[in-house]
Amino acid sequence: MSRPEVSRRQFLQVAGLATASSLTLSAWAQSKSPSSQLAWHDVRDWGIEGKGWDDTAKYFDRLPARAEGVVRSNVWNLSRHSAGMLVRFRTDATDISADYAVTSPKLAMPHMPATGVSGLDLYAQDEQGDLRWLSVVKPATQHVVTKMCSGIIPGEREFYVYLPLYNGTESLKIGVPKGASFEPIEPRTEKPIVFYGTSITHGACASRPGMPHPAILGRRLNQPVINLGFSGNGRMEKEVGQFLVELDPSVYVIDCLPNMVGSLVEERAVPLVRQLRKARPQTPILLVEDRTYANTPFYAERQERHEQARAALQSAFETLKAEGDDQLFYLDGESLLGEDREDTTDGSHPSDLGFYRQADAFEPVLRNILTTHS
């Protein structure tokens, strides 16, 4: 004899799960889920590091709301990505969870995984106090509730969580088991390193948010960093410059040549530096050449593009130095990636290996600037 059909509501009533208020099965499941055993902490309560302005349209934006309509629309739209931002806290929890949402359903790109585009990257202090990678979130949906780590060796530690590189962050909460300690760490007040650049600065094509060279350098130099990389749109524009001058960094890093040809560099490099210098007469400025395309030896036009853009930047540097600017520095592009040309994803954008090598090239220059000139 076949069983009679039982509706979902009848099942809930029989199970004692439906009441006059119509408690749903999902609500019941949520009340019994591990999430209910966690204490959740909204990162907006103590602040995100890597954010240059407080007057943003959305909390995790990289430019102030008043930049809309001033900078080009492409720059504005890209500024809604949370590249370079991180949150810090201390806890003795052995399990750490995240509840976060991103603004776009485009979680990955053909040449960059979802872990880098839309993931969270967790670092923790080891016994020596050094930051070490711990785990990365692999998002499959816009809203993710997940454990970032589970069952780690007990002990109170400092943690960093890096935010998505090529997606906007809508919200972020950190969860630890109830009863565990939790100490929010507010953003550092030291002057940040400000990077203004292209998709490479933005983070393409790192596998994780903690792997672009600005993030690596932030850890190595123990400095806060503001990432103003705008994919395909780092062009030394005065409209961006008018917001850069509002910041008070330890050093400006201008790394726009991958998006510029020689004539544009010739037109804009000197005016941008003068614009920054007028507002920040003693702030060091580092001009960076373009990295060499991995397949440049096979393309005459790419060789010519590098030569022209670099010649224009070198000329700008010499002009500005001749004016007496002793806080202006230069980094050549040939040193940014390896001679083996095995460190890009597509010939242009660094892989994690490429970003590691870029950090190696930047580090001694920035360390010297920070030590002797800031």
> How many alpha carbons fall within 13 Å on the CB side of residue 280?
23
The CATH number of the domain holding residue 224 is: 3.40.50.1110
Residue 17 is predicted with a pLDDT of 35
The CATH number of the domain holding residue 102 is: 2.60.120.260
Residue 34 is predicted with a pLDDT of 56
Could you give the CA distance from residue 96 to residue 171 in angstroms, rounded to a whole number?
17
Same domain, 305 and 218: yes
Residue 336 is predicted with a pLDDT of 98
Count the Cβ atoms, other than its own, within 10 Å of residue 12. 17
Residue 226 is predicted with a pLDDT of 98
> Does a structural domain hold residue 99?
yes
pLDDT in tens, 234-275: 999 999 999 999 999 999 999 999 999 999 999 999 999 999
Structure tokens at 325: 């600017």
> Does a structural domain hold residue 6?
no
Total domains in the chain come to 2
> pLDDT at residue 341 above 90?
yes
> pLDDT at residue 79 above 80?
yes
pLDDT in tens, 84-119: 999 999 999 999 999 999 999 999 999 999 999 999
> pLDDT at residue 18 above 90?
no
Residue 153 is predicted with a pLDDT of 96
Spatial contact of 226 and 204, defined as CB atoms under 8 Å apart: no
Could you give the CA distance from residue 127 to residue 150 in angstroms, rounded to a whole number?
18
Boundary residue ending a domain (130, 164, 185): 185
Same domain, 352 and 226: yes
Structure tokens at 224: 């806060």
What secondary structure letter does DSSP report for 45?
G
Residue 24 is predicted with a pLDDT of 34
Q: Say which residues have a Cβ less than 8 Å from residue 79's Cβ, sequence separation at least 6.
A: 61, 62, 63, 67, 71, 228, 230
Structure tokens at 127: 């016994």
> pLDDT at residue 59 above 60?
yes
pLDDT band at 7 (very low <50, low <70, confident <90, very high): very low
Residue of 339, 332, 340 lying closest to 361 (CA atoms)? 332
> Does a structural domain hold residue 305?
yes
Same domain, 328 and 206: yes
**Preceding peptide of 149 cis, ω within 30°:** no
- Looking at the DSSP bridge assignments, the partners of residue 171 are 101
Handedness of CA 371, 350, 122, 191 (dihedral sign): positive
Same domain, 212 and 173: no
Same domain, 45 and 108: yes
Average pLDDT over residues 124-137: 96
Residue 373 is predicted with a pLDDT of 78
Same domain, 228 and 312: yes
Same domain, 174 and 209: no
Spatial contact of 175 and 206, defined as CB atoms under 8 Å apart: no
Residue of 287, 214, 225 lying closest to 257 (CA atoms)? 287
Same domain, 161 and 281: no
- Looking at the DSSP bridge assignments, the partners of residue 182 are 91
Mean pLDDT of the chain: 92
Q: Say which residues have a Cβ less than 8 Å from residue 184's Cβ, sequence separation at least 6.
A: 41, 45, 46, 88, 89
Boundary residue ending a domain (159, 185, 211): 185
Q: Which domain range does residue 319 map to?
A: 193-372
Structure tokens at 267: 């037109």
Boundary residue ending a domain (185, 202, 221): 185
Residue 35 is predicted with a pLDDT of 65
What secondary structure letter does DSSP report for 257?
G
> Does a structural domain hold residue 274?
yes
Same domain, 206 and 347: yes
Handedness of CA 222, 365, 321, 287 (dihedral sign): negative
Same domain, 238 and 291: yes
Residue 36 is predicted with a pLDDT of 75
Same domain, 198 and 344: yes
The separation between CA 105 and the C-alpha centre of its own chain, rounded to angstroms, equals 18
> Does a structural domain hold residue 136?
yes
Average pLDDT over residues 13-33: 35
Average pLDDT over residues 125-132: 95
Spatial contact of 117 and 107, defined as CB atoms under 8 Å apart: yes
Structure tokens at 135: 């785990």
Q: Say which residues have a Cβ less than 8 Å from residue 300's Cβ, sequence separation at least 6.
A: none
> pLDDT at residue 5 above 50?
no
Average pLDDT over residues 162-182: 98
Spatial contact of 202 and 81, defined as CB atoms under 8 Å apart: yes
> Does a structural domain hold residue 5?
no
Same domain, 208 and 344: yes
pLDDT band at 4 (very low <50, low <70, confident <90, very high): very low
Helix axes 262-279, 300-322, angle to 10 degrees: 30
pLDDT in tens, 291-314: 999 999 999 999 999 999 999 999
> Does a structural domain hold residue 64?
no
Residue 6 is predicted with a pLDDT of 39
> Does a structural domain hold residue 13?
no
Q: E strand or H helix at 272, and its extent? A: helix 262-279
